[in-house]
Amino acid sequence: MATQIDLPPSSENSSLARHGATTLQAELQSLHALQARGDYSAAAAGAKRLLPLHPANRDLLLIEAHALRMTKQTEAALAALERLAHHHPRFSQLFLERGLCHVVLRDAPAAIADLRTAVGINPALTMGWRMLDGLYRMTGDNRSAELAARHCAHLASLPPPVVQAKVLFADDEVDAAEALIRRFLLEVGDHPEAMRLLAQIGHMRNVLDDAELLYAGVLAMVPDHHEARHEYVQVLIARHKFPQARAELEPLLKLDPTNHAHRTQAATIQVGLGDFEGVIPVYLEMLRETTGDTPDARVHRADLNLWLGHALKTEGRTDEAIDAYMAATADRPDFGDAWWSLANLKTYRFAPESIAVMRERLDAPTTADIDRVHIAFALGKALEDQGDFAGSWAAYAQGNTLHRASNGYIPTVFETNTREQKRVCTAAFFAERIGWGLDDPAPIFVLGLPRSGSTLIEQILASHSQVEGTQELPDIQRIVHELQGRELDFDNPRYPAVLPELDAATIRRFGEQYIADTMPNRVMGRPYFIDKMPNNFRHIGLIHLALPKARIIDARRDAMSCCFSNFKQLFAQGQEFTYGIEDIARYYRTYVDLMDHWDAVLPGRVLRVQHEDVVNDLEGSVRRILDYCGLAFEPACVEFHKTRRSVRTPSSEQVRQPIFRDGLDQWKNFAPWLEPLRAALGPDLAP
C-alpha cells in the first residue's frame, strides 16, 4: 500500500467537505442531478434562482453556462461565462465550456485557443483533448492532433477515479482530490499515477518527506516516468538534497539535453551547491535560445534574467545584475520579483521612469497578488531613497498588510516553543549530558534575528584563511523536523519535550548527521565553516548537545533598528513574523528572552556581538570574534570588503563596501509611524 500522508486541509473549497451538506451544497447536488437527467432548462432556472444569493459561486456559474449551451442559448452561455471569468479567471472548466460554445458557433480558431488554455491549466480534461483532436484534424494540423490523441489515450488508460481526482486537483479542489485518491489507493493498492498525485499534493502542502517517498515508489514501479522524475527532482531540490537531485536528473538530461526545464533544474542544483559562477553561462545560453515576442517567450526570458541577476549579484557583479533585472522588467513590467530584486541590492537607486512603472503596476487590476506585494516593497525602498518617507511608509505598510493577510503566521507557536525550551533545557539537564555529542570544532553558527548584522560577521570570518563561508544551511532544521514528527501539536509540541528521552548515541548521531549533510557546501576544504541560518537561535540547546565544540555567535542589533529593518524587508521565504509591527515586537522580545535563558544555563557558550559595536570599533570587534573562535588575527578580516566570495543575503552589496554608519539610524526617518513599535517593545528594549 502506498505511504499515507496526514495532510492539513486546503483553505479553498474545504468548509463544505469538513462540515457536511449545507443548504447550498444540497441545492448544487440537485442541480447536478438535473443535468445528469438532461433537464437543462430546469438546471438553468435553478442556477438563475440561486445566483443572486451567491453571485461568485463557481459551480453555479458553470451550471448556468453549461445548461444554457445545452439548450442552444449559446450567446447567453457566453455571457454567463464572462461573469464566471470575472470571478474565477483561471478555472479550467470555464475555458472548456467556452471552447465548446465556439465549436457550436463554428469558430474553430477561438475554440482551439480556449480548449488549449483549458488543458494547459488542467491536463486531465479528457473532453478538452478529444475536442482538440477533432479540431486539429479538421484544420489540417495533424501533428497537434496526434499529440491530443495521445493525451486522450493516456487518460483512457487510467482508472476513472484517478482521472477525476486529477481534474479536481488541477482546479484547486485539493481536499476532494485527496479524499478520492486515498479511497482509491486503499481499495486498489499501489498505482503509480495515484501515488504521483498524492505526492503532488504533499509537495504543494510542503509535506516533502512523504512526497519524496511517494515519488521514489512511483519511479521504482515505472523508471521511465519522465514527468514523475522531473517532479521528484523538484522535491529533492526543495529538501536541499542537491547531490541526490543531480543524480536523479541525469537520465532526463541525457534523454533531452536541450530541454530548458531540465537545464533550469540543473542550474538550480548548481546554485544550491554554491556554484554561482558556473551557472551564469548556463542562464546566458538559455537566454540566447529564447527568441520571439510571444507571451510565453517573454515570461521565460523574464525568469531567466531574474535568475541570472541573482547569480551575478551573489558573485558581486552588480552592474550586470542590474542589467539583467531591468531586462526582466522590460519583458514583464508587472514582474514584482524583478523590481524587488533591484531594491534588494540596497545600493541601487531607481530612476523616475521605473518608479512611475511601479506605481502604475501596483494599482493595475491585472497585477497578481504576489507581484503586488513585491512591487509595494520595492516602491517603499525607492521612495525612501528619495526622502519621501510618508510615501515610503505607505508602500511598506501596504506590502506588509498584503503579505500578512495570507501568510498564516501564529505568534504563539514560537512563544510556546520558547517556553518549552526554557522548561526542558535547564542547567541541570546540560550538566547531566556533559561529554555527549560529536567533538567536531568545524561549525561556527552565526545566528540571531534577520537584519541584525549577521552577514557582516559572516563576511569578516569568511575573510580568514581557515574559515569557509557557506550559506543559511537547513540542516539543524531538518533534525528538528525529525524530532517534531509529523503530528504537529502547537499547544504541546513534541520538540523540545522529546530531548530528555534521547540517549547519548542518538545525540552523537545527530552531530554526525549534521557534519555529513553540510559537507557538500564545504567546497574549499577549510577546517572551519559558517552556518548562518538565523533561526538556529531557537535550537542552541540541541546544537550544544550534538556539537559541543561548535562556536555560536549571536548577532544582535538595536531593537528599533532591527525591527524596522525587518518590517521593510521582503524575505524570499520564511520569517513570517516580520510583516506586522506587533508581530515583530513580540518576536524580538521572545528572542531576547530565549537568548537570556541560554546565557543563564550555558554561561559563556554564546558570544554576543552587537552590530553597533562592530561599526564603532571594527578592529576591536574582529579581534574579539576571532579570539572566541580560536583563530589567529588576520588583517584580511578587517578588510573584509575586499574578500571575493559569493554572498546570498540582502546585505550582499553592503558587505562589499567598507564599514559604514548610514544604516544605524534609518528608522528615525520613520519615527512618526513607529511609536506603536516602541510601545510594543517596551522601555527596556526601546528607551
pLDDT tens column, 567-625 = 999 998 889 999 999 999 999 999 999 999 999 999 999 999 999 999 999 999 999 99
DSSP annotation of 607 reads: E
Q: Which fold has domain 25-188?
A: 1.25.40
Predicted local distance difference test score (pLDDT) of residue 11: 34
> What three-state secondary structure class fits 354?
helix
Query: Quick check: 651 pLDDT over 70?
Result: no
Cβ atoms of residues 445 and 469 within 8 Å: no
Predicted local distance difference test score (pLDDT) of residue 659: 72
Predicted local distance difference test score (pLDDT) of residue 9: 33
Mean pLDDT of 134-152: 95
Domain with CATH 3.40.50.300 in the chain: 411-681
Containing 96, the helix (H) or strand (E) segment is helix 92-104
Q: What is the pLDDT of residues 548-566, one digit of tens each?
A: 999 999 999 999 999 999 9
How far apart CA 140 and CA 17 sit, in angstroms, is: 45
Predicted local distance difference test score (pLDDT) of residue 388: 97
Predicted local distance difference test score (pLDDT) of residue 649: 53
Domain with CATH 1.25.40.10 in the chain: 25-188
Query: pLDDT over 90 for what percent of the chain?
Result: 85
Cβ atoms of residues 556 and 447 within 8 Å: no
pLDDT band at 523 (very low <50, low <70, confident <90, very high): confident
Give the closest residue to 231 by CA, choosing from 211, 246, 247. Answer: 211
CATH match of 411-681 with 3.50.50.60: no
Q: What is the pLDDT of residues 371-395, one digit of tens each?
A: 999 999 999 999 999 999 999 999 9
Mean pLDDT of 270-291: 94
Predicted local distance difference test score (pLDDT) of residue 656: 52
Q: What is the CA radius of gyration of the chain?
A: 28
How many angstroms separate the Cα of 125 from the Cα of each of 92, 166, 596? 9, 9, 58
Cβ atoms of residues 3 and 210 within 8 Å: yes
Bridge partners, residue 609, by sequence: 555
Query: Quick check: 7 pLDDT over 90?
Result: no
pLDDT band at 660 (very low <50, low <70, confident <90, very high): low
Containing 609, the helix (H) or strand (E) segment is strand 606-610
> What three-state secondary structure class fits 553?
strand
Q: Which amino acid is at 491?
A: D
Mean pLDDT of 483-489: 79
Query: Quick check: 315 pLDDT over 80?
Result: yes
Q: Which residues contact 440 (CB under 8 A, 6 or more apart)?
A: 511, 515, 547, 549, 550
How far apart CA 681 and CA 684 sit, in angstroms, is: 8
Evaluate the CA torsion angle 632, 634, 639, 644 in order and state its sign: negative
Tell me the pTM: 0.82
Predicted local distance difference test score (pLDDT) of residue 504: 98
Q: Which amino acid is at 164?
A: Q
Please state, as a whole number, how many other Cβ atoms lie within 10 Å of the Cβ of residue 516. 10
Cβ atoms of residues 586 and 680 within 8 Å: yes
Per-residue cell: 227: 514527468
Give the closest residue to 495 by CA, choosing from 408, 577, 423, 600. Answer: 423
pLDDT band at 19 (very low <50, low <70, confident <90, very high): very low
Cβ atoms of residues 379 and 358 within 8 Å: yes
Predicted local distance difference test score (pLDDT) of residue 646: 55
How far apart CA 97 and CA 82 sit, in angstroms, is: 11
- pLDDT, mean over the chain: 92
